[in-house]
């Protein structure tokens, strides 16, 4: 049985995609240390608010976009690290569905004071620029 706010074609009463349809667009979150280590050996670009690492996965590995987030203790105490990671998650949620490519792993690394202090619009533009650099669109 479908929930009352959705119909059979995947839209709700307002015409927007239902949450079940949007879940397939969400990137898979990296949790294994080995995945972070493999991404660290790939390409990287440093921006003002974060460092973005990227690795193209092999053909036999999982499909889709995978993303990981990390902040060292240099960023601050647990509260500061969690705030920085929340901002990085939101940047990735906004930019990766359009700017990311299938079959890639991305790792966002928070920077000391900058990730939490920069305006959110600057983080968004930096993420788009970083993806363009890593995928060869811009230099």
Write down the domain spans for the chain: 27-134
Residue 35 has what pLDDT? 92
Q: What is the DSSP letter of 21?
A: H
pLDDT tens by residue, 103-137: 999 999 999 989 999 999 999 999 999 999 999 86
Task: Give yes or no for a contact between 53 and 42, defined as CB atoms under 8 angstroms apart.
Answer: yes
Mean pLDDT score of the chain: 85
30: DSSP letter: P
Whether 118 contacts 48, CB under 8 Å: yes
pLDDT score for 62: 76
If one looks up domain 27-134 in CATH, what number appears?
3.30.230.10
Q: What is the mean pLDDT of residues 49-58?
A: 94
Residue 80 · residue 117 · CB < 8 Å: no
Look at 4 and 90; give whichever has higher pLDDT.
90
User: Mean of the pLDDT values across residues 39-54?
Assistant: 95
E strand segments, 1-139: 28-29, 43-46, 50-56, 66-70, 104-110
pLDDT value of position 120: 95
Residue 135 DSSP symbol = T
Per-residue confidence band for 21, with pLDDT thresholds at 50, 70 and 90? very low
Element (H, E) at 35: helix 33-40
Does residue 22 have a pLDDT over 50? no
């Amino acid at each position: 049985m479908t929930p009352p706010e959705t119909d059979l074609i995947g839209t709700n009463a307002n015409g927007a995609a239902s949450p079940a349809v949007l879940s397939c667009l969400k990137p898979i979150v990296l949790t294994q240390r080995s995945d972070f280590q493999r991404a660290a050996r790939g390409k990287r670009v440093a921006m003002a608010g974060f460092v973005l690492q990227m690795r193209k996965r092999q053909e036999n590995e999982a499909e889709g976009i995978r993303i990981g987030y990390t902040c060292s203790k240099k960023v601050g105490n647990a509260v500061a690290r969690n705030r920085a990671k929340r901002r990085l998650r939101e940047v990735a949620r906004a930019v990766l569905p359009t700017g990311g490519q299938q079959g890639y792993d991305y790792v966002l690394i928070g920077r000391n004071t900058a990730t939490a202090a920069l305006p959110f619009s600057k983080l968004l533009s930096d993420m788009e620029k970083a993806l363009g650099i890593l995928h060869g669109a811009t230099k």
